[in-house]
Amino acid sequence: MNKDWNVIEVLRYARHDWLNKIQLIKGNLALNKMDRAKEIIDEIVMEAQAEAKLSNLNLPQFASLLLTYNWENHLFQLEYDVLDGSKCDYLNDEWLAKWTSSFFACLNSSINCFDENHLSVTIDPQKEATRFFFDFRGIITDREQLEFFLREASSSPKIKVHVITEQELSMEFNVNDYGDLTQ
């Protein structure tokens, strides 16, 4: 999860992803499934827009973590969305990337490896603060480990856990709540 990607590796994975997407479009066109081919193209456009918004936040370490996470073998698929295109100049990028990486590692070791597990991260940047929403759907096998991590981490940003069950975790934190995060 903490892999340091070099330019060649990034290009190799990006090229592989693009070739897969093009093959999906070609396959659907060959089967004369025009509507599905258009849906795939729309999904690609939405994904590219999300990547652009994430890249423009001025959080290179955090953005790199999210952009490359699904390129490695993990027990959950990651999705992300940025609600606004504002920059987050006041955030401590290194701290945010480390905290998020630690949370992903804890979540990865707390879930069922034989289930479809999904984590959605929504980022709501504002001028003075940024809110992060984490919504997990899947099978949580070690709820106690997650609860312990969130209790320990709650002294950092003030994490507000909305739901934690065997099938879901929903939480948020506002970066403005943690003074060390501002530069």
**Would you call 24 helix, strand, or coil by DSSP?**
helix
Third-level CATH fold of 7-181: Heat Shock Protein 90 (3.30.565)
Question: What's the chain's average pLDDT?
Answer: 87
pLDDT band at 179 (very low <50, low <70, confident <90, very high): very low
pTM of the shown model: 0.84
pLDDT digits (tens, 9 = 90+) for 56-95: 998 999 999 999 999 888 999 999 999 976 777 778 889 8
pLDDT digits (tens, 9 = 90+) for 9-67: 888 888 998 999 999 999 999 999 999 999 999 999 999 999 999 999 989 999 999 99
Using CA atoms, how far residue 24 sits from 7, 13, 40, 102, in Å, is: 26, 17, 8, 34
Instruction: Quickly list H helices, 34-183.
Output: 34-55, 60-68, 93-108, 143-153
69 vs 49: CA distance, rounded Å: 18
